[in-house]
Structure formats: structure tokens, C-alpha cells
Amino acid sequence: MTARRLDGKATAQEIRAELRPDVERLTGQNARPGLGVVLVGDHPASAVYVSSKTAACDELGIHHETRRLPLTATTEDVVAGVDDYNRREDIHGILVQLPLPPQVDAVRVLDVVDPAKDVDGFHPENVGRLVQKRPRFVPCTPAGIMELLERHDIQVAGKRAVVIGRSDIVGKPMALLLMHANATVTVCHSRTADLAGVAREADILVAAIGRAGLVRADFVKPGAVVVDVGMNTVEDPALAAELLLPSRLPGFEKRGRALVGDVHAPSVTPVAGALTPVPGGVGPLTIALLLKNTVRAAASVT
């Protein structure tokens, strides 16, 4: 058995195509959707993520602005940038790129974002609405995973789901969405006893713990759906040889680095029934759902 490839890139393109008429309609009504980004410092990965998101906005016709603050910015500096976006009628969605430098109080910053513009779904009001199953904005990565499962006709209701990772950004909202879809959900973390044994109970396994290649064949029930949220960069050739599928090794040799997930693809692919690739799985969906949330935010005020 070889796992079916759950193509997040293709699914993200479907979502973008569905959004295009809404963007055109809103733009024609002088309500072009607008995204305001706050980027603090010059962290290379953050800069790449922001560039990918703004390029996606350009492709769809969404207005965007990026406020770049120095690495030395204070909490007050970042809050001031968010407050300005809060007041702007042409900015419908606000994205604070994480992580923030240690001197910046991330909780305070995220709490300042207008909940009606919180397209990342991190404000406590939106978190509470999600808990109550009456969401306004859902965090983009777990929302994208639910879109992926639905569009690939993967049944969630009645299934056993295991989420490895308990972050506010992915793990917790992922568990809530699966529970709301009538799965029986277990959340695991670094202190879970017999992690592999618990994971093997899953019909749907979501790996979001941030450890390259942690989930191996002994974590996976034969035929299970495995969703890999990990985004880990590997530069060591020996580690790359261990973690990468053979088809990806020439690319690693050419570039000297590769992106790998939390799932050990070489061992899991023969066991799982379906698997998201890294790259090309969850990442493109996260961006597509950010666009979807921004368009919804714009539509809500027209």
C-alpha cells in the first residue's frame, strides 16, 4: 500500500479560484478587501512567509500593506501599528507575523487587534466563539486542514482523531474543529505517555509538534489519514538521507537544504491510507484560508 497524496497546493488553488468573483464584486463596490501586515525584525523565515502571503494577495487582487518595524521595537510600537490598522476603513484584516521578539508582549499585541479584523483567529473573543461552535474567524492552518479533508471526501464524523501538539495556533483549534465535526479527539504533547501507542489509535492523525520526522510507521494505524503540519528545515546530508523520500534527494543535493515535516515520510507512506506532503500540503492551505478570512471580513462590512 502507498498513501494517497493529499495535494494541499491544488486544494488551495481551488479555494483561491472560488474567492476571485467575491474579490471582483467587492472591488466593484469600492470595498476592495485589504490586509494589513505587521512584521517586526528581519527573521528570514518570517520575511518569506509574509512575502508568500502578500504575493497571494496580489494574485487575487487583494490590497495589502506591510508595516515593517525594527527588531528593537517595543510592545508600544507594535500596538501603535495595530491600532492604526484598526482605525483604517480600507484595511479589513490584520496579520501580526509571529513570532515576535522576546521584548514584545505578544499576548497584549494580539489582544489589541479588532476581533472583526482578526483574520488569524487568535483574539480571545474569536477563540471563545470557536469553542462555542459559532466561529467568526478560525485559525488558518486548522481551517485549511478541515477544507482539505472535506474536499478529499474524508469522513470525520465518528472517527478517532489524534492531534499531536497543543499550540494555540494549530493544536487546540484543530482539536476543536475535529470535535465539532463529530470526531472523537485525543490531544497529545511532549509529556504524553506511550505517544506512539496513542497515535496508532487514530483514523485521522494530525502531527503539529515541530519535531522533524517524529511520526514514524509505528505511530500510524494502517490506512489512517495523516496530516503533516511540520515545517522543519534540514541542511545536514545524513539527516536528509534519513528523512527525505528518495525522489527529493536530488533537490536537496542541488540546494543544500530541504523542508521536512513532523512525519517521517519514507516509513509512513507505505502504511498510511493518505498523507499530506511537505512542502505542498498544509502550507498553501494556510495562505488560502488567510485570503478567505480577509475576503469574509471585507464582505461583512459592505
Quick check: 1 pLDDT over 80? Answer: no
Quick check: 302 pLDDT over 80? Answer: no
Residue 132 appears among annotated catalytic residues: no
Question: Which member of 97, 114, 159, 221 is catalytic?
Answer: 97
Question: Which member of 114, 117, 118, 120 is catalytic?
Answer: 120
Please give the pLDDT value at position 47: 87
pLDDT, tens digit (0-9, with 9 covering 90-100), for 256-286: 999 999 999 999 999 999 999 999 999 999 9
Please give the pLDDT value at position 43: 83
Please give the pLDDT value at position 211: 95
pLDDT, tens digit (0-9, with 9 covering 90-100), for 211-230: 999 999 999 999 999 999 99
Residue 194 appears among annotated catalytic residues: no
For the entire predicted model, the pTM comes to: 0.96
pLDDT, tens digit (0-9, with 9 covering 90-100), for 124-177: 999 999 999 999 999 999 999 999 999 999 999 999 999 999 999 999 999 999
Burial 259-288 (b: 16+ CB within 10 A, else e): bbbbbbbbbbbebbbbbbbbbbbbbbbbbb
Residue 97 appears among annotated catalytic residues: yes
pLDDT, tens digit (0-9, with 9 covering 90-100), for 166-180: 999 999 999 999 999
In order of start, what are the domains of the chain with their CATH numbers? 30-115 (3.40.50.10860), 140-282 (3.40.50.720)
**What distances in angstroms separate CA 128 from CA 95, 96, 122, 243, 293, one per listed residue?**
19, 20, 10, 38, 17
Please give the pLDDT value at position 42: 86
Reading the block at residue 282, the C-alpha cell is 498544509
